[in-house]
Homo-oligomer: A and B are copies of this chain.
Amino acid sequence: MDRGAKVVTLQDVADLIGVHKSTVHRALRGDPRVESGTATRIQAAAAKLGYDPEANQAARRLSQRRFGNFESPHMVALFFPVLFSRSAYFLRQFHGFMEVMSDSGFDVLTRIVGNHEWQQFPSAVARGDVDAVVSLAHESQLMELRAQLLALPGSVQRPFITLINPLPGAWSVTADFRQGGRLAAAHLLDLGHQRILTIDGLSNQHRERLVGIRDELQARGLDPAKHLVAIKPDETISPWHAQVADSLDRGLAKAPGVTAIIAPNDQVAALLFTLLAKRGRPVPERMSLIGCDDTDPLLGPGHQNILTSVALPLEDIGRATARMAMALGSKPRSEVLPVNLQVRGTTQRVGSGRT
């Protein structure tokens, strides 16, 4: 484990051949000026000694700086929210991301977003030794993270990439939430549902889906005001599930005729499933239910997932982000991936009762 063991250097190879180190350098770079005979001899010697200019990255970078050349460190930073490990939502993105990065030989420097003043640490991020900074963090943390990054000395600003949540002036990879709303609405309308309930305001993503739902209604000549009931949750209520229960009850009171619900995510869907059963509206017999994200299964009697859900291509989002991080253009761009609907057991034709 001795740190100081000798590393093969340009000079070592030069000494072996009896030539100047510049010549070795040129031969190894494939410079056509070196005589082909010596070139091959040099290459052989370098290979034998195991010479690798990358090994002395410090020297290389120092030298390159002089001429304004900055080669990629082949490393990106990835920031996680604190409680990422509980949620398939983040893990699947992470998995896709790591898959591409590991295959491409990029180093990924992970870090949890907390309230650390992390820029004061001797971090590769703070030094600017990364090609890009990627963040999986929650919408609410992105702004502050960005601000911390911008507070770093001017020379180390790195491109910032967000997943799911686009940020002005930054790169992003996200999904077509609006299309997700359309797909969910189309599915319900095809099944004959005419009054749809949803809970609004929980996230930008779901707001975007609402636009899609309205798009679909209008495309079929239906008035959203009549066929869609969007309940705003009462933010003063906590805990979380009490807020959902309140929203549901207000929704049912306002529009007793609803036969379908589009939940803002799968966890809310699972809760609604239980709440609806208690209120004499079992799913799917008397109410169709669609989740969103397709991250949390709702297990039926056979232990399989029965929740119809708008699926996000989370692994693909991770993969696309990795590719974006490795080939950044000069100006921020946003990539939007398609979504699809996973039809399972919580939706059925309106009024068809017990299956």
A residues whose Cβ falls under 8 Å from a Cβ of B:
1-8, 50, 52, 54-55, 57-62, 65, 68, 70, 74-75, 78, 80, 84-85, 91-92, 94-95, 98-99, 102-103, 105-112, 114, 116, 118, 120-129, 153-159, 299, 330
Contact = CB atoms under 8 A, between A and B. Distances in A.
A57 B111 contact: no
Contact of A111 (B52, B54, B102, B153): B102
Nearest to A82: B99
16 contacts: A1-B158, A1-B330, A3-B70, A4-B155, A52-B153, A58-B60, A59-B62, A74-B121, A74-B123, A85-B91, A85-B92, A98-B111, A98-B112, A105-B122, A105-B123, A108-B109
Given A3-B70, A4-B70, A108-B110, 17 more contacts: A3-B155, A4-B155, A5-B154, A7-B153, A55-B126, A58-B65, A75-B109, A85-B94, A91-B91, A98-B112, A99-B112, A102-B114, A102-B118, A103-B116, A105-B120, A105-B123, A107-B123
Nearest to A78: B110
Copies, count: 2
Nearest to A70: B3
A118 B103 CA distance: 9
A5 to B, nearest CB: 4
A302 to B, nearest CB: 11
B121 A114 contact: no
B109 A109 contact: yes
B62 A58 contact: yes
Contacts of A111: 98, 102, 107-108
